[in-house]
Structure 1
Amino acid sequence: MADYENFVRGQLPRLLRYATMLTGEREQAADLVQDVLVKAYRRWSRISDTDHPERYVLRMVTNGYLSWRHSRAARLIAAGDLPDEVRPDDFASEHAIREDMWQRIARLPRRQRAVLVLRYYEQLADSEIAELLGCAQATVRAHAHKALTTLRNGLTIEQMAQAKES
């Protein structure tokens, strides 16, 4: 089991970051990764024989997130009215814009959110995302398109310009 322990030591930070991006909460991400690693431990002899055990476990985290039955209350924090113009040294406004975007991403359907995280955070190609999610590449592109359209429709022109600068 030394092989498993080395795998966990090497992959745990990445898995936790990835799960945090999916769930939006560190505690929920830690629970998800813990559940997955327990399952991976039981199947380690099979997983370690694959060409890419890290990809296999990443898929387990993705599938765990997509099927997780834990209900969580939507926690929306009102950022208040954003100023008309953001000063370069106005970190509070920048934080409010990022928090607003995070809340918008958190409200996306799970598959759309997973596609965005895999595409833009993990920087995977559509073919890799399709393999991880068990769907066609066209489905991945459709989820990404719908998610980005949803996000864009809620942004003002000023917020989009600010997001491009950050």
Structure 2
Amino acid sequence: MRFSKYIMAFTLWPLLLVQKCAKDSEETNDDNAVEIRYNADENVTKVMAIEDWEQFLKQSQQDIDETDTQIGLLETKLDEADTDEKNAWQGICDSSNLSLLKLKASRAKQNKAFEDGLSTYDKTMYHQNEIFEIQFNHEMAAINKKLATLFEKMRSGYYK
């Protein structure tokens, strides 16, 4: 009996290690994602600014969709939770939802301002978008970190 436990441990250990390495690799790839930014002294044309903004819109929509999915998973878990867990999780769910709605609204507002200003484009529009993108990504990361921390606590049994 003891011998079989050791065999199981040695056969499962490499699988767990590979899974952990794969997870670390995915996280590293996300952290090392390189955005192509133009230098401050570079003359950013209207076409370049539009391409950069469209790239941001595409990436930010993917981020929004992923965060929406995470919030949806949390809402599903709320149905299975006991009262204490439900109260704690509901607060995180509500604040994440509200923060995401504010981000969506500010993104739409920035997009409208950018589109309206294209007829009289100047380089400052690109820099305003650049500042907005940094702020947006920072706030999105904060939401996702809060959700990831909660899911990690759920997996670890912290709330059990």
What TM-score do the two structures reach when normalised by structure 2?
A: 0.35
Q: Which has the larger radius of gyration?
A: 2
| Higher RCO structure (Cα 8 Å, ≥6 apart) | 2
